[in-house]
């Protein structure tokens, strides 16, 4: 007995300590892919280095600074700054340093251009908040040292380019002074700071760039005031608009004297245009104003005289000026014309002559050109050539040169809002989408190579061939559904309002579609994409239909702006239809009912708490009417600290009869005391999660019944004081309260208060448990807690005969209004990392054990077995508990290096982790997105239901053949021997 | 003299048939060796064969009881083996066929054999039970019980 238990013990330990998930070196890239993006480019600076590879340095709206290869668009290096460290400006200093100004102008950094290492960082403080400017004058020297001029926080700094030291500074403390431009005329030692004071006074400061001394201060007042930005038309002239947006003010401050001229726009353009805005540009002598319909380019011809040079109704984008010689400046202009864009490069002083005019075919799915950056190069015949970098409406980045798109980057994928999945088409006879790539010989050759690898006979070249064969396996990137359900489409909605379908096999873009409904239009000024829902998932009887997704968006940022629905076919990417709603969309509730074409019923709640049913068909209505009394909804008002439950009442009592609109009534509300609790996190179970069983067998054949409900809501509240940054409160005045609330009845099933804890709280809900992550102020460590909830009222179902004969009511439908008797078990553990996201694996039938997927602060995804978060863990588990697989309790959760799902990669700017079940029960698909994308397959209990990918079928075949041959040979031999023995 | 195949089954590998078949007239063309008289041998023939057959029947009955009792000898060994690693199941084949004979009463041995094997089976079942492999607990019947459906449905959350 003792020996046996010893063996069991050894067995248990070896199984529990061996990493559950790990990867061999040659398996990297086999089932996973990783894509790097940078986001929508805000600013681009071309490196003018003569030698070495041409590169462009960009800063983006995702807060990335990156150096890109100008030839191919690849990333040389990239840095993602923190969310509170927004980049204000970038430039290149001395040809080898990338200078960035960030955090509202308070941090200036210098990076080495070739490799992206940080050279220095300096912190710039100032008296008050203001606009910030970064200037890198080319010929302003200070003891052989180039000087950077930075205006930020109401202070002008001159900073050494070599080491970041502040050479001098000058404060602009006047209360109402708002800086508009900082100008450093090339070839002079002066700096002009111009701005407005008290919104009607124009102020000009002239400063000595050598020492920061104030040379002159002039001001002039304009009774009509100012609006918007100013445009610099020469080094000593700016153009501004008055507060009505109808009069142009040309202000020049030559030699420190302010003179001005007013020109009503109506004098320049005959028809009335309405209020205009100035498009900021730095082209000397020319500026542009834009009204709703028209863009007007205006030239300044000496002494403040203005002249219209061009008026266009096309969408237009202008680049900044590029100086190509001593006194010549060029700029690029891009105009749209149906499926083409026209690129023109002009000289600043010569509007009518074009240096370059090209037309480029442009995919309509990229939308409008938002930004243009121009760069020149010297052709072999010593003339100037131009290349432009353009940023499109879908956030993609393209390089145009010689009338062609040299490369393009789909950087819209850096800002994903929502993700859903779709199945691929079924492979049908005759309509095979896949190519026939392999002939028999190649198949055999491949398997022989594999066999050689297995038998360790392969040479390094063979190994490389095997590896490339595995990576390029066409099997994984086919466009049809596979038996294991590994091949799917990931449908992602980006912030730009573009929908992409990514293939899970290799991450390529199958189709992309810029939603028409998310296009700016008369009715919808600033549409925002909100969410994606699976609208139609055909299976069984509706196989012939294509699946589709529902994109819910809204016109404008306020919650009562009218909503827009679009339906997109996921096989083709075509927008099937779009609906402009006459009501707002505050909540979208996918209902657990589908109609005969497998369209899911959705309830849209508007701002007045009316529920609208979609699809608007009579069939959907009849299904809905049948379940009418059983449908409830709840709203979490996290600002007021109230959770309300509602039921549907009757048809809307509006002026227009709408049978798909329903009134609702309040049923219950949970009000959290605002002085002590603030909602920081709410989480529910995923709607599509499958739970295999309601019973949990514990040690000694005992049964515990899980309390499994789709209508449970986990709410975490913290003390309002403690909702700030970690460490901003003492442990005594901070706490965290966790609730489990039934969202049908409003019953609080469980409530627990933890003292001395602080957010942020990340939580995940699955089956009958919640795991949440927070900071413990007393222990100065992060912690994770688990709550498991069990149904006590079922606990006495222990009669074996009743269960054998099925005479129990454990699976009969239950109402939540019957009083539940629940018990909860919970436990807390220390955890080293702080988290960005948390998710749980999900499998097709819910049999496979679960793993938590933790998005760590280092932008990696860590898999942690749920077994480590089991409230039944004790320090000394009994024999029976050990056999059940309970791990002895430790105070902290282990981090096993092999269980990083992302292995050596990082998903920069990680925002979300999505898990999708494959058809194969053991396997789940994981998609992590941030600025980068990462996809892999996970098998939390290993692939117990299939052979591994590197299984050698050839070896199996050869073994079988050899065995059969051996059987025949030995049979013959034995027969012969028997005959001989008979003759003896 | 020809080599006899074992008619007695697995218990024996060979046997020699001593009964003389050479009395057939066809073998008579070989002359008898000098000094041999065939007549005396022919006289005793029937008595000897009867005696032989009785001995064989006795031997068969004895052997049948031996086979029937064989499991008993194994029981202790079996129990010990079960205790050691007993999750394997032995199949005992009943080999009473070769002993089938009109004169031999096989009911007794068969019953004993069955009883002893049942004893072994009972031991096995008891062993399985102690290992927890028999579905005698509630937990064995609920492990694949799907969760109960809920009548009500509620959705919602933080406003978009």
How much is the ipTM here?
0.79
pTM of the model: 0.84
Q: What is the pLDDT of residue A277?
A: 82
The predicted-structure confidence for A887-906, as pLDDT tens digits, reads as follows: 999 999 999 988 999 988 99
Q: In which band, very low, low, confident or very high, does the pLDDT at A651 lie, cut at 50, 70 and 90?
A: confident
From chain A residues 535-564, the ones with a CB under 8 A of any chain B CB are: 552, 554, 559
The partner residue sitting opposite A694, judged by closest CB among B145, B159, B160, is: B145
If you measure CA to CA, which chain A residue comes closest to B2?
Answer: A982
Q: What is the pLDDT of residue A17?
A: 39
Contact call for residues A565 and A581 (beta carbons, < 8 A): yes
The partner residue sitting opposite A697, judged by closest CB among B143, B152, B158, is: B143
Residue A591 and residue B145: Cβ atoms within 8 Å?
A: no
Q: What is the pLDDT of residue B91?
A: 42
What CATH number does the domain located at A172-274 have?
2.40.128
Whether B142 has its CB under 8 Å from any CB of chain A: the answer is yes
Asked if pLDDT for residue A134 goes beyond 80, the answer is yes
The token pair at A255 is: 């030699």
Whether B159 has its CB under 8 Å from any CB of chain A: the answer is yes
Q: What is the pLDDT of residue A321?
A: 83
* Pairing status of strand B153-157 against strand A631-637: parallel
* A436 compared with A786, residue with greater pLDDT: A786
Count residue pairs from A and B with Cβ separation < 8 A: 140
B77 lies in a domain? Answer: yes
The predicted-structure confidence for A242-300, as pLDDT tens digits, reads as follows: 887 788 888 888 777 888 888 888 777 777 667 788 887 778 888 888 877 788 888 88
B31 lies in a domain? Answer: no
Residue B152 and residue A693: Cβ atoms within 8 Å?
A: no
User: Helix/strand/coil (H, E, C) string of A391-404?
Assistant: EECCCCEEEEECCE
Which of A418, A697, A799, A845 to mutate to probe the B interface, most B CBs <10 Å? A697
Residue B153 and residue A711: Cβ atoms within 8 Å?
A: yes
Residue A694 and residue B148: Cβ atoms within 8 Å?
A: yes
The partner residue sitting opposite A633, judged by closest CB among B145, B146, B156, is: B156
**pLDDT cut 90: percent of chain A above it:** 39
Chain B neighbors of A744, CB-CB under 8 A: 152-154
Contact call for residues A926 and A841 (beta carbons, < 8 A): yes
For chain B, the domain total comes to 1
Give dist(CA A822, CA A811) in Å, integer: 17
* CA-closest candidate to residue A645, choices A743, A568, A558: A743
Distance from CA of A748 to the nearest CA of B (A): 15
B68 lies in a domain? Answer: yes
Chain B neighbors of A694, CB-CB under 8 A: 142, 145-148
Length in residues, chain B:
160
**pLDDT cut 70: percent of chain A above it:** 94
Whether B141 has its CB under 8 Å from any CB of chain A: the answer is yes
Distance from CA of A665 to the nearest CA of B (A): 14
Which residues, including other chains, have CB under 8 Å from residue A246's CB and lie 6 or more apart? Answer: A264, A265, A266, A275, A276
Whether A590 has its CB under 8 Å from any CB of chain B: the answer is yes
B57 lies in a domain? Answer: yes
B2 lies in a domain? Answer: no
Whether A795 has its CB under 8 Å from any CB of chain B: the answer is no
Residue A635 and residue B159: Cβ atoms within 8 Å?
A: yes
Residue A797 and residue B138: Cβ atoms within 8 Å?
A: yes
The pLDDT of A127-152, averaged and rounded, is: 83
> Radius of gyration (Cα) for chain B, nearest Å?
32
The predicted-structure confidence for A18-37, as pLDDT tens digits, reads as follows: 444 567 777 787 888 999 99
Q: What is the pLDDT of residue A355?
A: 85
Q: What is the pLDDT of residue A671?
A: 94
- Contacts of residues A576-580 at CB distance under 8 Å and 24 or more positions apart, as own/partner, are A576/A548, A578/A515, A578/A516, A578/A517, A580/A517, A580/A523, A580/A524
Which of A93-97, A125-129, A226-230, A570-574: highest mean pLDDT? A570-574
Of A624-638, A755-769, B34-48, the poorest mean pLDDT is in: B34-48
Give dist(CA A101, CA A89) in Å, integer: 5
Whether B30 has its CB under 8 Å from any CB of chain A: the answer is no
Q: What is the pLDDT of residue A441?
A: 76
Q: What is the mean pLDDT of chain A?
A: 86
Q: What is the pLDDT of residue B84?
A: 62
Asked if pLDDT for residue A766 goes beyond 80, the answer is yes
Q: What is the pLDDT of residue A44?
A: 93
The partner residue sitting opposite A632, judged by closest CB among B141, B146, B154, is: B154
The pLDDT of A934-960, averaged and rounded, is: 85
Whether A201 has its CB under 8 Å from any CB of chain B: the answer is no
Chain A neighbors of B154, CB-CB under 8 A: 631-634, 645, 710-711, 743-744
Q: What is the pLDDT of residue A541?
A: 63
Chain B neighbors of A743, CB-CB under 8 A: 154, 156
B21 lies in a domain? Answer: no
Q: In which band, very low, low, confident or very high, does the pLDDT at A884 lie, cut at 50, 70 and 90?
A: confident
Q: Which DSSP category does A721 fall into? A: G
Chain A neighbors of B14, CB-CB under 8 A: none
Of A151-155, A669-673, B11-15, the poorest mean pLDDT is in: B11-15
Whether B160 has its CB under 8 Å from any CB of chain A: the answer is yes
Chain B neighbors of A709, CB-CB under 8 A: 150
Q: Three-class SS of residue A207?
A: strand
Chain A neighbors of B134, CB-CB under 8 A: none
Contact call for residues A152 and A124 (beta carbons, < 8 A): yes
Give dist(CA A810, CA A802) in Å, integer: 11
Ranges of residues in chain B with a pLDDT under 50 are 1-10, 24-26, 85-86, 88-94
The predicted-structure confidence for A353-382, as pLDDT tens digits, reads as follows: 888 888 999 888 888 888 999 988 888 888
Which of B138, B140, B143 to mutate to probe the A interface, most A CBs <10 Å? B138
Ranges of each domain in chain A = 172-274, 676-804+817-831, 834-948, 952-983
């Amino acid at each position: 007995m003792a020996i046996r238990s010893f063996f069991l013990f050894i067995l248990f330990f070896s199984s529990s300590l061996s990493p559950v998930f790990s990867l061999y070196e040659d398996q990297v890239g086999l089932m996973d892919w990783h894509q790097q993006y940078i986001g929508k480019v805000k600013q681009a600076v071309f490196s003018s280095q003569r030698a070495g590879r041409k590169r462009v340095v960009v800063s983006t709206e995702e807060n990335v600074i990156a150096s890109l290869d100008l030839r191919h668009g690849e990333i040389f290096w990239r840095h993602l700054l923190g969310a509170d460290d927004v980049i204000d400006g970038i430039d290149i200093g001395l040809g080898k340093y990338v200078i960035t100004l960030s955090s509202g102008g308070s941090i200036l950094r210098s990076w080495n251009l070739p490799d992206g290492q940080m050279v220095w960082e300096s912190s710039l403080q100032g008296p008050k908040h203001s606009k910030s400017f970064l200037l890198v004058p080319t010929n302003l020297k200070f003891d052989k040292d180039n000087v950077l001029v930075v205006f930020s926080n109401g202070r002008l700094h001159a900073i050494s380019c070599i080491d970041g030291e502040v050479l001098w500074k000058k404060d602009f403390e006047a209360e109402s002074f708002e800086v508009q431009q900082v100008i450093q005329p090339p070839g002079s030692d002066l700096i002009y700071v111009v701005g407005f004071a008290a919104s009607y006074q124009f102020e000009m400061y002239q400063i000595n760039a050598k020492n920061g001394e104030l040379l002159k201060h002039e001001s002039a007042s304009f009774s009509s005031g100012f609006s918007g930005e100013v445009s610099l038309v020469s080094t000593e002239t700016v153009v501004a608009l008055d507060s009505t947006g109808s009069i142009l003010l040309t202000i020049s401050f030559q030699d420190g004297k302010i003179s001005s001229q007013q020109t009503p726009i109506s004098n320049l353009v005959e028809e009335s245009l309405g209020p205009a805005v100035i498009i900021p540009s730095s082209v000397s002598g020319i500026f542009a104003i834009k009204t709703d319909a028209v863009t007007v380019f205006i030239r300044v011809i000496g002494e403040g005289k203005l002249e219209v040079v061009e008026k266009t109704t096309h969408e237009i984008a202008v680049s900044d000026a590029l100086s190509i010689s001593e006194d010549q400046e060029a700029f690029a202009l891009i105009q749209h014309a149906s499926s083409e864009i026209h690129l023109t490069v002009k000289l600043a002083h010569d509007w009518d002559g074009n240096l370059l005019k090209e037309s480029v075919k442009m995919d309509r799915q990229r939308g409008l050109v938002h930004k243009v950056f121009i760069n020149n190069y010297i052709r072999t015949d010593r003339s100037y050539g131009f290349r432009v970098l353009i940023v499109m409406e879908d956030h993609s980045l393209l390089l145009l040169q010689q009338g062609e798109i040299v490369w393009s980057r789909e950087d819209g994928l850096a800002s994903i809002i929502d993700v859903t999945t779709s199945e691929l088409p079924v492979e049908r006879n005759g309509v095979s989408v896949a190519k026939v790539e392999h002939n028999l010989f190649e198949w055999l050759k491949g398997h022989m190579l594999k066999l050689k690898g297995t038998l360790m006979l392969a040479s390094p070249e063979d190994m490389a061939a095997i590896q490339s064969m595995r990576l390029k396996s066409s099997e994984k990137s086919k466009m049809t559904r596979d038996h294991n359900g590994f091949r799917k489409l990931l449908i992602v909605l980006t912030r730009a309002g573009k929908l992409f379908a990514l293939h899970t096999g290799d991450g390529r873009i199958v189709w992309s579609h810029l939603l028409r409904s998310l296009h700016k239009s008369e009715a919808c000024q600033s549409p925002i994409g909100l969410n994606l829902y699976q609208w139609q998932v055909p299976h069984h009887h509706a196989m012939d239909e294509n699946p589709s997704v529902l994109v819910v968006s809204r016109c404008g940022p306020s919650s009562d702006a009218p909503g827009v629905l679009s339906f997109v076919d996921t096989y083709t990417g075509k927008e099937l239809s779009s609906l402009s709603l006459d009501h707002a969309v505050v909540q979208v509730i996918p209902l657990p009912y589908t109609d005969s074409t497998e369209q899911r019923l959705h309830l849209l709640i508007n701002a007045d708490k009316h529920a609208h049913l979609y699809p608007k068909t009579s069939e959907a209505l009849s299904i809905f009417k049948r379940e009418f009394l059983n449908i409830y909804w709840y709203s979490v008002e996290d600002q007021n600290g109230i959770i309300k439950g509602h039921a549907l009442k009757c048809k809307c009592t509006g002026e227009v009869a709408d049978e798909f609109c329903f009134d609702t009534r309040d049923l219950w509300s949970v009000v959290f005391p605002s002085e002590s609790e603030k909602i920081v996190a709410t989480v529910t179970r995923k709607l599509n999660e499958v739970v295999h069983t309601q019973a949990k067998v514990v040690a000694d054949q005992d049964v515990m019944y899980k309390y499994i409900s789709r209508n449970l809501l986990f709410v975490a509240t913290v003390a309002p004081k403690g909702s700030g940054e970690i460490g901003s409160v003492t442990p005594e005045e901070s706490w965290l309260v966790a609730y489990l609330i039934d969202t049908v009845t409003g019953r609080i099933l469980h409530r627990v208060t933890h003292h001395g804890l602080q957010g942020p709280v990340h939580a995940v809900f699955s089956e009958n448990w919640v795991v949440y992550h927070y900071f413990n102020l007393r222990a100065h460590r992060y912690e994770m807690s688990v709550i498991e909830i069990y149904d006590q009222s079922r606990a006495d179902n222990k009669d074996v005969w009743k269960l054998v004969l099925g005479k129990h009511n454990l699976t009969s439908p239950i109402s939540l209004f019957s009083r539940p008797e629940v018990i909860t078990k919970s436990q807390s553990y220390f955890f080293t990392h702080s988290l960005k996201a948390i998710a749980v694996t999900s499998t097709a039938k819910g049999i496979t054990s679960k793993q938590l997927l933790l998005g760590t602060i280092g932008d990696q995804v860590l898999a942690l077995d749920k077994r480590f978060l089991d409230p039944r863990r004790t320090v000394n588990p009994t024999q029976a508990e050990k056999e059940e697989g309970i791990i002895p309790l430790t105070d902290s959760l282990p981090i096993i290096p092999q269980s990083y799902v992302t292995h050596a990669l990082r998903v920069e700017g990680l925002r979300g982790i999505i898990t999708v079940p494959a058809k194969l029960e053991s396997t789940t698909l994981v998609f992590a997105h941030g600025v980068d994308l990462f996809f892999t397959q996970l098998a939390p209990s290993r692939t117990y239901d299939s052979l591994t990918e590197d299984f050698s079928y050839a070896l199996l075949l050869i073994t079988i053949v050899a065995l059969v041959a051996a059987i025949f040979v030995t049979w013959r031999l034995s027969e012969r021997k028997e005959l001989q023995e008979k003759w003896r | 003299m020809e080599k006899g195949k074992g008619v007695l089954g697995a218990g024996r590998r060979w046997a020699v048939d001593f009964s003389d078949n050479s009395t057939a007239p066809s073998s008579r063309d070989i002359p008898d060796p000098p000094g041999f008289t065939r007549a005396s041998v022919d006289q005793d023939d029937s008595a000897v064969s009867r005696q032989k057959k009785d001995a064989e029947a006795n031997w068969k009955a004895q052997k049948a009881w031996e086979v029937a009792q064989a499991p008993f000898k194994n029981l202790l060994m079996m129990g010990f083996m079960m205790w050691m690693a007993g999750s394997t199941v032995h199949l005992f084949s009943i080999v009473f066929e070769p002993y089938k004979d009109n004169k031999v009463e096989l009911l007794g041995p068969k019953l004993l054999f069955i009883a002893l094997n049942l004893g072994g089976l009972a031991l096995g079942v008891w062993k399985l039970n102690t290992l927890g492999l028999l579905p005698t607990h509630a937990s064995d019947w609920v492990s694949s019980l799907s969760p109960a459906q809920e009548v009500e449905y509620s959705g919602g959350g933080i406003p978009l």
